[in-house]
Structure 1
Amino acid sequence: MIADGMAALPHETGGILLGFRTPNLIVVTRTVTVADPQSSRRSYLRRHRQAQARMAIGRGDAPPVVGYVGEWHTHPADIGPSRTDLRALAAIARLAQGPVALVVLADPAQRLSHLHGRVAIRQDIWPVVAINPVQIEKAEVAITEDTAASLEAEATALTTRESS
């Protein structure tokens, strides 16, 4: 995220987050950049078809427990998610099978010191998914020293034990 964010400056860039969910966490183990040739200082649009293709490549050798868990993008200045970002997150959460994360890397030149996280969860109160309300909350973004491989192996082991 940092390298691609810095390379895109002064424009925004972004992509998708891959990982897994636990009862209390969304664990991101991989990020995939999905370029937007029309991005600007104030906008980035994740292209659906390109995202699908890039996600397939990004999953590569990942175990089955790894899948789509959210979106990320940059803001050239230290500004958190916009109303447009939150509306897009809500729309994605309405279609998702679980909580969805949004990470905004504000001012990529400052590295990981300006991460803004949100988590959206669809509130299943109506029979039609598309009209269900979505709850969006601020979320702490914590960086761990664990490797993606070790986190994915642990999640796979837990999933295997639970299904036995």
Structure 2
Amino acid sequence: MSDLTHLNAQGEANMVDVSAKPASVRVATAQGFVTMSAKTLELISTGKHAKGDVFAVARIAGIQAAKKCSDLIPLCHPLMLSKVQVDFEVIASNNQVKISSMCKLTGQTGVEMEALTAVSVAALTLFDMCKAVDPSMIISDIKVLEKQGGKSGHWTA
């Protein structure tokens, strides 16, 4: 009926059966941006935000989110991640924080959704911690940058 793998022959949503796929090392990276006022960026860059180390909290939230991806996205497989990394880069010229994630495992399905979830929840956490001083922040451009492993091999945006 469709080339969409999460639909069965009747067009109903279903979890893809990956049991026949060989395990391989799989890695995915993703990124997103939070744009904010110069004042807010200064507060979090210098660690002077009243709520504490915004980046540390957002990093832990992103890592935890990647581990819980299958609880949030209904048709994602629960995965045994071997590595989750969440990094932040302050881009002062644009009043932005770039959030990057990398997820890795040896398994039968990819980790793109986990990488996207890590970036998304890290961005939401950053927003939550800073909304009192800057409710006009913008979360944008969340996307997969690269994936490796499995039948489709290496893909780069």
Larger RCO: 1 or 2 (CA < 8 Å, sep 6+): 2
* Same fold? TM cut 0.5: no
* Structure showing the higher helix proportion among its residues: 1
Which one has a bigger Cα radius of gyration? Answer: 2
What TM-score comes out, normalization by structure 1 length? 0.28
TM-score norm. by structure 2 comes to 0.29
